[in-house]
Structure 1
């Protein structure tokens, strides 16, 4: 018995020596997540909707890259009532501290929106004025260009027919950890041009319930100051999604 004990101790000693006492896993530069949500209602009316999102972030020593692809589809009584797609990319070139210079592109297609296409390209300056263990606030200001395509071929307001305009962009991103596995985020953006102003607010409550799986409740509100006649200025999309992170 004593010989067996010393043999086990001898064999485990080299393995223990290979792992330093203060060892921690290497930092993960690349993170990704897939988000899916679906809802179906039957009875007096048959409605269904589906939304998905793929997001990837590569955080290097000198720069941070973020990609995102969104899709949203809804139907009512076998007729499509909403169809929206969006692609986003942002590059942050890191400066001293939390400061950075960014360049980004947002491409949006909305079949039933007041504008069927809205493509925005901008660059500017970002920084983190407030950060604690549980909270973070990021601010951005910049200039850019926006391409708009109105949802009707003819419009009495000549301003709405103008497809190209320069914009001034401001953005604020707030993240707060409510508990160990729950997080609240708010992402607000305002883009002001000589013709139109577009404001977007994304609110999300996220609960990590098992390993790499999370449940997210989200609301996306978009306000467009000038829209064609018989169009709403405010669009709201509410979602309940399952997220897988890897």
Structure 2
């Protein structure tokens, strides 16, 4: 029993002696902490140091006698400028285009200046043209042709024939209007042998430079073809296949409605499909070829008409015209022939 007690005392003695030592260390650490001075944290702005850029001296052109203002640029040669000014003064589009084309070969250095001057002239002319169209009244801007012809034959047969037509067109900024009228009359030995009258109105709304929407109102009377009156109404689309100087070609297609009063008091009305072609081609030497063709395809009676003409310029606004007309009726009444032709020589006045 005594031995066990001594052993216990021996084991617990170091732990009791270590406690005062730990407390002393804690007190020294606390005194050391109280003696430490803590400063607040300060935010200082960054310091930027700008270094001056090195100065580069400008080139002293005056030292060598060079002045940029005195350096000559490209100019149009006097010969080319004189021709270009003359073409512009004459409002000659083809002449201006030719000078621009050959200026590059004659003087390449001034080709761009020639092209720029021609482009400025075209733009100014286009603006003036549009302003004129916008400001014009309904009775202005009309152009057209008036055609007249006739013949008299005496002797074994007395034949008198007269023909006349008018074709008027007004070109607006968005609208084109065309009025057509024609009359043919002939008497043979005191008896009327030909009598035909036609009238037409064609408004066109321009969608673009080539495409347009057309309307067509037509009236015709030809009792020798078997009808006293025929009315036609059509609306459709048109397109200018060719639109250049000296050559135009327009094609049209659309639905139509026709009413025909025949000479035997029979009336016929029907829906139809309409197509037309209008060609105007300037040939050499003042010659011009025109072709106007139209077709109405319907259930009862279809009609195809073609007018081919060759026009030769005579003097000023006067021209001589030879035309050949063919008209085909698929179902003529009263046993009439299906095809009629007419050759005509007339004098044309253009304005």
Please give the TM-score of this superposition, normalised by the length of structure 2.
0.59
Q: Tell me whether 1:68 sits opposite 2:161 in the alignment.
A: no
How far the C-alpha of 1:228 sits from its partner, in A, is 1.2
Aligned to 1:34: 146
- The question of whether the paired residues in 1 share the 8 Å contact of 2:225 and 2:332 is answered with no
- The question of whether the paired residues in 2 share the 8 Å contact of 1:202 and 1:220 is answered with yes
Match of 1:191 among 289, 296, 308: 296
- The question of whether the paired residues in 1 share the 8 Å contact of 2:258 and 2:269 is answered with yes
- The question of whether the paired residues in 2 share the 8 Å contact of 1:53 and 1:68 is answered with yes
Deviations 1:131-184, CA, capped at 9 Å, x for gaps: 44332221000111101112223xxxxxxx451111100111122111141101
Higher helix content, 1 or 2: 2
Q: Tell me whether 1:102 sits opposite 2:214 in the alignment.
A: yes
Instruction: Please list every run of 5 or more consecutive structure 2 residues that lacks an aligned counterpart in the other structure.
Output: 1-84, 92-124, 130-139
Match of 1:144 among 248, 251, 256: 256
Aligned to 1:225: 330
| Paired residue total | 220
Distance 2:246 2:262 in 1: 42
1:163 match: secondary structure: strand
How far the C-alpha of 1:128 sits from its partner, in A, is 1.3
Point out the more displaced range, 138-147 or 124-133.
Answer: 124-133
Match of 1:86 among 198, 213, 238: 198
Distance 1:231 1:111 in 2: 11
Higher strand content, 1 or 2: 1
Distance 1:103 1:133 in 2: 26
Match of 2:163 among 51, 69, 80: 51
Aligned to 2:228: 116
Q: Tell me whether 1:204 sits opposite 2:309 in the alignment.
A: yes
Match of 1:166 among 271, 275, 293: 271
Match of 1:129 among 241, 244, 261: 241
Distance 2:329 2:228 in 1: 13
Distance 1:200 1:32 in 2: 22
- The question of whether the paired residues in 2 share the 8 Å contact of 1:120 and 1:147 is answered with yes
- The question of whether the paired residues in 2 share the 8 Å contact of 1:113 and 1:151 is answered with no
Aligned to 1:213: 318
Say which structure, 1 or 2, has more relative contact order (CA 8 Å, 6+ apart).
Answer: 1
* Bigger Cα Rg: 2
- The question of whether the paired residues in 2 share the 8 Å contact of 1:146 and 1:165 is answered with yes
- The question of whether the paired residues in 1 share the 8 Å contact of 2:210 and 2:243 is answered with no
Point out the more displaced range, 202-211 or 114-123.
Answer: 114-123
Aligned to 1:15: none
Aligned to 1:235: 340
Q: CA RMSD in A?
A: 1.9
Point out the more displaced range, 139-148 or 178-187.
Answer: 178-187
